[in-house]
């Protein structure tokens, strides 16, 4: 397997704000409506209104993975005092399959940033055993590092992110 560059995650401050430096060992492909999401990409808001398909290319059917999707920029990127907000969580995903084969612990919540450009981060962890992940009590003030420690997940095996901003309101014509 070729090396997967961490540079976009470093430049996007995903490494630092959300997770620590790690060595990717699994290829994760995030697609919305059959369009692959790349680090730092900004899709149209309508594109991300339905939950994505997340493929795990690696491991085997006996390997299990936990996927989380968070927004570290709540309520706004300049003062993210509510960091992090959990948007989605799927556990027990077998390797070489995708998120539809896992168990959804937290349902998908549509990204709806109010202030500035938000990062939406997908982090993939390898589980040690099945049904070992505890559902968080709240989506608010989620902490990826604490969650990983509490559930004995170790460091991530893959991560990706996209950017989103509040859709601009259509302007009404002005009449004189």
pTM of the model: 0.92
> What is the token pair recorded at 3?
């090396």
The fold adopted by the segment(s) 6-165 is Phosphatidylethanolamine-binding Protein (3.90.280)
Would you tell me how many other CB atoms lie within 10 Å of the CB of residue 46? 10
Peptide bond into 83 cis (omega under 30): no
Q: Show me where the domains of the chain are located.
A: 6-165
CA 107 to chain centre: 13
Model confidence pLDDT, tens digit, residues 108-144: 999 999 899 999 999 999 999 999 999 999 999 999 9
Residue 1: pLDDT over 50:
no
Band of the pLDDT at 172, cuts 50, 70, 90?
Answer: low
SS3 assignment, position 89 = strand
Span 78-100, mean pLDDT?
A: 96
Query: Which phi and psi (to 5°) does residue 29 adopt?
Result: -115, 120
């Amino acid at each position: 397997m070729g090396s997967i560059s961490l540079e976009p995650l470093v430049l996007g401050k995903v490494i630092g704000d959300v997770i620590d430096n790690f060595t990717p060992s699994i290829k994760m492909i995030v697609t919305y409506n059959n369009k692959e999401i790349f680090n730092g990409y900004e899709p149209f808001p309508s594109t991300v209104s339905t939950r994505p398909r997340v493929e795990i290319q690696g491991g085997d059917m006996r390997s299990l993975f936990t996927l989380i999707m968070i927004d570290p920029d709540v309520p706004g990127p300049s003062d993210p005092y509510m960091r992090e907000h959990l948007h989605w969580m799927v556990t027990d995903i077998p390797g070489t399959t995708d998120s539809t084969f896992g168990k959804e612990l937290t349902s998908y919540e549509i990204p709806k940033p109010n202030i500035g450009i938000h990062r939406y981060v997908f982090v993939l962890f390898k589980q040690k055993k099945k049904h070992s992940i505890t559902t968080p009590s709240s989506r608010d003030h989620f902490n990826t590092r604490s969650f990983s420690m509490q559930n004995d997940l170790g460091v991530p095996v893959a991560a990706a992110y996209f950017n989103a901003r509040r859709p601009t309101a259509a302007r009404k014509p002005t009449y004189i």
